[in-house]
């Protein structure tokens, strides 16, 4: 599903180049789940952005669902993101002017999918069926993130990329949201790459890798 080979990435800063990824290899099979751990600033978000084609590596190859990102045009990468990827971030990134139901189906519609039945079922599973006509600001943080997860999955992506999806939530809602995310991912059969700095959260995924000094440390399988 996702292959990264010898990925290097440095950011240009006023103090000179800041190397972040220094030869990262990663592969994730279809339907598999992987937790990406590491200290703050270790490059987890950078790696996720590269996997999503939101930024480009300095060198190395990334293949997403059979397509090489480095040689794909920006429109082709955008199309791949729309149709094959779901993205969830720490910030919920909902559209404030759209209702809950419209936020949920927005990405699916952009992906060219008709989803009336599935979206109703999804709203129910998210615990948001009664709130379909409300607006994001009328929801709690946990509800907003459930909606963001539902939106990411509504288009039936092959891979969900999640960057600390429970990082903005209190412990109780983080637990609920994480459990729901893992259930929905499992039932949809999509692969999951999730950034977390919580070992406890990571332990609920099949595989764990840790970024340190620009490299991925050997993994511990479940
Ligand atoms: P993490 O998600 O593990 O906390 P990031 O990938 O966000 O780490 O950042 C890795 C390093 O790169 C940090 O030192 C961060 O300050 C730096 N960094 C991230 N994005 C940029 C950018 N756009 N320009 C310059 N430096 C950046
Ligand atoms: Mg980050």
Residue 211 domain flag = yes
Residue 96 domain flag = yes
**Alpha-carbon gap, residue 69 to 71, rounded angstroms:** 6
Tens-place pLDDT, residues 35-48: 999 999 999 999 99
Whole-complex ipTM: 0.98
Q: What is the CATH number of the domain that holds 98?
A: 3.40.50.300
Average pLDDT value over all residues in the chain: 91
Residue 129 domain flag = yes
In this model, does residue 171 exceed pLDDT 70? yes
Number of domains in the chain: 1
Q: Which residues pair with 220 in a beta bridge?
A: 208
pTM of the entire predicted model: 0.92
- Give start and end residues of each alpha helix (H) in 87-217: 100-110, 116-125, 141-154, 171-188, 199-202
Atom of ligand 1 nearest to the CA of 164: 2
Residue 156 pLDDT grade (very low, low, confident, very high; cuts 50, 70, 90): confident
Q: Which of 7, 8, 43 for mutating ligand 1's site (highest number of atoms within 8 Å of CB)?
A: 43
Of the bound ligands, which one is closest to the alpha carbon of residue 212? 1
Residue 25 domain flag = yes
Of the bound ligands, which one is closest to the alpha carbon of residue 90? 2
**Alpha-carbon gap, residue 217 to 15, rounded angstroms:** 28
Quote the domain boundaries for residue 185: 2-216
Residue 222 domain flag = no
**Which residues are close to ligand 2, an ion, with C-beta < 5 A?**
44-45
pLDDT of residue 81: 87
pLDDT of residue 220: 62
Residue 221 domain flag = no
């Amino acid at each position: 599903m996702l292959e990264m080979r010898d990925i290097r990435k440095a950011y240009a800063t006023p103090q000179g180049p800041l190397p972040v990824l220094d030869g990262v290899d990663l592969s994730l099979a279809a339907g598999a789940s992987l937790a990406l751990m590491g200290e703050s600033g270790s490059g987890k978000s950078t790696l996720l952005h590269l996997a999503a084609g939101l930024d480009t590596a300095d060198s190395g190859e990334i293949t997403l669902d059979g397509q090489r990102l480095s040689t794909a045009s920006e429109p082709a990468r955008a199309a791949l993101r729309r149709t094959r990827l779901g993205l969830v971030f720490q910030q919920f990134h909902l559209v404030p002017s759209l209702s809950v139901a419209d936020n949920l189906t927005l990405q699916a519609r952009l992906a060219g999918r008709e989803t009336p039945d599935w979206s109703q079922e999804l709203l129910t599973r998210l615990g948001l069926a009664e709130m379909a006509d409300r607006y994001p600001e009328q929801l709690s943080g946990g509800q907003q993130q459930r909606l963001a997860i539902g939106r990411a999955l509504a288009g039936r992506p092959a891979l969900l990329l999640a960057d600390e999806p429970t990082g903005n939530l209190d412990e109780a809602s983080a637990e609920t949201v994480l459990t729901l995310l893992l259930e929905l991912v499992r039932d949809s059969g999509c692969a999951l790459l999730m950034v977390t700095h919580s070992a406890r959260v990571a332990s609920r995924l099949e595989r764990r890798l840790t970024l340190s000094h620009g490299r991925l440390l050997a993994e511990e399988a479940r």
